[in-house]
Amino acid sequence: MKRILIAFCLVCFAFGAAQAQEKSKPPAQDLDANALPEDLLIADAKKNLRVAQLYFTRKAYIGALQRCEETIAVYQRFKKFDEVLYIAGMSSVRLSRKEGKQPLPAGMTAQNYLILARQYLTQLIKEHPKSEFRKRAEEELRGLGDSALQTGAKQ
C-alpha cells in the first residue's frame, strides 16, 4: 500500500512539474500581427483624428502631426487614413513655412518638414486615388515644386 501511495505521489509531482514548465513558456506570438483588438485600434485612430483636426484648426501643427503619426505607425487600415495622411502632410507643409503657434522642435528644420510633407502627400495620392483630399494634395505638391508628381502625371 505504501508503494502505491509513493508511486501516486511521484506521478502527481512529475505531472505538476510538467505543467509548471508549460506555464513558464511564453506563448508563441506572430510578430506581424498587432496584439491589440481591432475595435480598440479603430477607437484610438478615430480619437487621434479628431484631436489632430482640432490641433490643425488651432494652428498647433506639431501636435496635429504627432497625432497623425501615431495612427500612421499603428493602424494603416483605418477607413479615414487618407485624411490622416492629408493632415500630416499639410501640418508638415505649414511647419516647413514656420507657420503656426509652436516653435520648431530642436533638431528639426524647415527642410525636414518639407521632406515629410512630400512623403505624406505623395503617399496619399498613390495609395488613395479616389480620396476627396487627392486634388488638394496634388495642388500642394505642385506648389512645393515636386517634380515626381509632375512626371507621374505625364505617365
pLDDT (tens digit, 9 = 90+) per residue, 120-155? Answer: 999 999 999 999 999 999 999 999 876 445 444 443
Note the pTM of the prediction, 2 decimals. Answer: 0.71
The structural domains of the chain, with segments of one domain joined by +, span 36-154
The residue whose grid cell reads 498613390 is 126
- The pLDDT of residue 33: 53
Residue 128 phi, psi dihedral angles, 5° rounding: -135, 70
Nearest CA-CA partner of 88 in 102, 72, 74: 72
The burial class, CB within 10 Å (0-12 / 13-18 / 19+), for 32 is exposed
Cα angle 84, 87, 88 (rounded to 5 degrees) comes to 80
- Those residues whose C-beta lies under 8 Å from the C-beta of residue 30, and which sit 6 or more positions away, are none
Q: Can you give the pLDDT at residue 96?
A: 93
What is the predicted pLDDT for the residue at 141? Answer: 93
CATH value of 36-154 in 1.10.260.40, 1.25.40.10, 1.10.3720.10, 3.30.70.360: 1.25.40.10
